[in-house]
Amino acid sequence: MVDFDERIPIYLQIMDLIKKKIIKGDLKGGDKLPSVRELAVELKVNPNTVQRVYQELEREGIIVIVRGTGAFVVSEEKKLKEIKESLAGERIKNFIKEMKEINLSKEDLDLLLSKYWEEVN
C-alpha cells in the first residue's frame, strides 16, 4: 500500500509512482499496466483517479491506451529517457531551491553531494 502525501494531489503521486517504475525497469516498454479497476483496488483509490492518471500519462506520451485491450508503456527509448530526465529535473530543482534557502553555496553543495554520493553507494 502507498502512503499518499495529503499536500499533493493523489493522481500526481500515482503518475510519479508509475514513472518511477518505468525508470527503474520494473515496467518496460510494451508492458501492460493493471486495469483501472485493479490499480484502484490495489492503491485503495477511486477508479476515476486511476482513469485520470492513465489519461494524463497517455497525453504525455508515456503510455498508449488500446480500447478494449488495456494501457501499455511506450517502447520508445527516447521517450523513456525524457521521463527519467524530467523526473530527476523536478527533484533536482526543488532540492537546489531548498539548499539556496539555507544559503548553501554551489561549491559547498558540490562538496556535500560528492561526500554523500559515496556514502549512499
Q: What would the pLDDT profile of 30-66 be if each residue is shown by its tens digit?
A: 999 999 999 999 999 999 999 999 999 999 999 999 9
Domain that holds residue 100: 78-120
Instruction: Verify that 61 and 107 share a domain, yes or no.
Output: no
Instruction: Verify that 91 and 45 share a domain, yes or no.
Output: no
The answer to whether 90 and 49 are in contact (CB under 8 A) is no
Predicted model pTM: 0.74
Is 115 inside a domain boundary? yes
Tally of structural domains, the chain: 2
Q: Whole-number mean pLDDT of the chain? A: 92
Is 4 inside a domain boundary? no
> Rounded distance, CA 103 to CA 97, Å?
10
The answer to whether 84 and 78 are in contact (CB under 8 A) is no
Q: Cα dihedral sign for 70, 75, 56, 43?
A: positive
| pLDDT tens digits for range 10-35 | 999 999 999 999 988 899 999 999 99
Residue 45's CATH number: 1.10.10.10
Of the two residues 106 and 87, the one the predictor is more confident about is 106
Instruction: Verify that 110 and 60 share a domain, yes or no.
Output: no
Instruction: Verify that 26 and 38 share a domain, yes or no.
Output: yes
What confidence score (pLDDT) does residue 1 get? Answer: 66
Average pLDDT over residues 76-86: 83
Residue with grid cell 510519479, as numbered in its chain: 16
